[in-house]
Amino acid sequence: MFQGVNASDGIGIGVAQVAVEPDLSYTPHPHGDPDAEAERYNQALNKFVEHTRAQAKRMAESVGEEEAQIMVGHINMAQDPFMIDEIQNRISQGMAAEQAVDEVCDMFHGMFAGMDDPLMRERAADVQDIRTGLMANLLGKEVIDLSVLPPNSIVVVAELTPSMTADIDKDNVVGIVTETGGRTSHSAIIARALEIPAVLSVPNCTTIARTGDTCVVDGTAGTVYVNPTEDELDDFKKKAAVLAEEKKALEAYRGKKTVTGDGKELLLVANIGNPDDANGALEHDAEGVGLFRSEFLFMDAKELPSEEDQFNAYQKVALRMKDMPVIIRTLDVGGDKEIPYMNLKKEENPFMGYRAVRYCLDNPDQYKVQLRALLRASAFGDIKIMVPLVTSIEEIRAVKELVEECKKELSEEGIKFNPDIEVGTMVETPAASLIADDLAAECDFFSIGTNDLIGYTMCADRGNDAIAYLYQVYQPAVLRSIKRVIEEGNKAGIMVGMCGEAAADPLFIPLLVSFGLGEFSVSAPSILRTRKILSQWTKAEADALAERALKCKTAEEVKDLLEANAK
């Protein structure tokens, strides 16, 4: 068994197809006929453009227009007048076409690879792709063609270049294994878009596996088995069959309303981390966004993002989600989220320190930039503002005051916004839970952030294995806290949602149905499964289970009870 990075979920069982890069070495030979050499380069370029255009077309059909644009980008880069000039100049000075292409690609590769912007560094990989394509054409070698693989292939490559991904036929490729790349690499994103299980960064995989070997790729666990034992293979076949069956069955819930077993309508929305995630949310049939973490805007930047930058990002999500609700959490800095240019002081106890709304209210001018951007974007969709880490009434009042100030400014400037924009609390501290009744009177909605609520209630760090038994949503203290927040919110007539992982926990869902949770915000791939589980519970059934759960004295008892009654 080999461990790598779990980049795309699912289990793939098939036959390894190890693709080794063609040998593109050459002898730099001077030539006497620049015109003939230039013509050789032109032909290589034309062939490259033709081939890439076909790839782009295939990709537009199999993955999506956005990804196909990457291949179109390759064509534009290869046909770039600057690049062509540089290559032709070298050829006219007597250099062989191979060397000219190699040198110029090197130059561009160096330029892109040295840039700070991660988006730009990705262009370095594109340049390599172009170099490989052009050189293979010049040398008369074939580039690995992944478009003609037999069915049930597991692609094993050192690095999955964008053009290789473009060739992948998802009907024939059941798994991907590479030696490089992480969860956020382009290969990973494409693999997820194609829904092909993928494990990346498996050292030496191209030498461990040989073409023809039976392979198992477990993209969820991040493991690869080369020539597994009969038992292992049987085991994975069963797992894969169960997964396939489940996935197929879940499709029945696509396009359906989210209702409990007795017909109560609920809102089932997605958690997202950046504007592009909105596409994934829609693909998985989300009914809106229950948590858009705005940190990405701040963490990916070198300085505070401007109002315009933020507005663009929020507007993008609002427009994509059309009339559906989009809850955006304001900056949750501090704790484990460090943003270098904000120069926050090192603290003894960062999770209990200067963070989130505390930092924001202490820097109102900075916070107002975000609030103004949110208000402006609210003219384009149903945007709601969510405040993290609230522990006192004063905090939510102060935020609302700032929102009012921003509204006034925008009105004076003649800029449109939604005057009735909702402002709510992300309930994630024991303090907020204990004053939930008063807090509800000041808020338009609650969304329970279980990840932090469990941590703060149990005084247990989620990352600390030694105390993992404490960090559980099934702890009676957490259960009571969640129940209280939902009930107080419902009493006040405001929407109560949950945006932590517990909202997608099949065991926990019946308790939430019983407590009266109105909105479930989960990761996009969990949407259909959550809709299914919700449909299986009536209020009466859920109440009966909740009554017993609340009598349990320990987390273990709660969990055992829920497991015994899971549907």
Distances (CA, A) of 237 to 13, 220, 247, 251, 381: 8, 15, 15, 21, 45
Taking the complex as a whole, the smallest distance from the CB of residue 313 to another protein amounts, in Å, to 7
* Residue whose C-alpha is closest to residue 407's, from 438, 385, 440: 385
Beta carbon nearer to another protein, 294 or 450: 294
Active-site positions read 186, 499
Q: Which residue's CB is nearer to another protein, number 20 or number 111?
A: 111
To another protein, the closest distance from the beta carbon of 301 in angstroms equals 9
- Min CB(277)–another protein separation in Å: 15
Shortest CA distance to 260 belongs to which of 269, 270, 268, 249?
Answer: 268
Shortest distance (Å) from residue 310 CB to another protein: 9
Scanning the structure block, which residue is given the tokens 């092909």? 196
Residue 259 DSSP symbol: B
Q: How far is the CB of 425 from another protein (least distance, A)?
A: 29
Task: Give the 3-state secondary structure of residue 459.
Answer: coil
Would you say 114 or 150 has its CB closer to another protein?
A: 114
Q: Which is nearer to another protein, 172 or 312 (CB)?
A: 312
Cβ 70 to another protein shortest distance, Å: 8
CB burial class (10 A; 0-12, 13-18, 19+) of residue 234?
exposed
Degrees (nearest 5) of the Cα angle 476, 479, 485? 140
**Min separation Cβ 319 and another protein, Å:** 12
What is the DSSP code string of 140-203? TPPPP-GGGPPSSEEEEES---HHHHHH--TTTEEEEEESS--TTSHHHHHHHHHT--EEE--T
- Would you tell me which residues interact with another protein (CB under 8 A)? 69-70, 72-73, 76-77, 80-83, 108, 111-112, 115-117, 119-120, 123, 126, 305-306, 308-309, 312-313
Smallest distance, Å, CB 352 to another protein? 34
CA dihedral 540, 543, 548, 553 (to 10 degrees): 170
Any idea how long the chain is?
Answer: 567
Nearest-CA neighbor of 224 among 191, 175, 259? 175
Q: Do 156 and 19 meet the contact criterion of CB atoms below 8 Å apart?
A: yes
Q: How many CA atoms lie within 13 A of 201 on its CB side?
A: 12
Strand partners, 153: 15, 173
Name residue 229's amino acid: T
In angstroms, rounded to a whole number, what is the distance separating the alpha carbons of residues 165 and 59?
A: 9
Whole-angstrom Cα distance, residue 269 to residue 519? 7
What do you get for the CA distance between the two ends of the chain, in Å?
Answer: 33
- Residue nearer to another protein on the CB measure, 117 or 347: 117
Nearest CB to another protein, comparing residues 166 and 558:
166
Nearest CB to another protein, comparing residues 73 and 525: 73
**Residue with smaller CB distance to another protein, 126 or 519:** 126
Q: Which is nearer to another protein, 284 or 376 (CB)?
A: 376
The CB-of-129 to another protein minimum distance in angstroms stands at 13
Look up residue 558 and give its two tokens: 């709660």
Report the greatest alpha carbon distance in the chain: 91
Helix (H) or strand (E) holding 427: strand 423-427
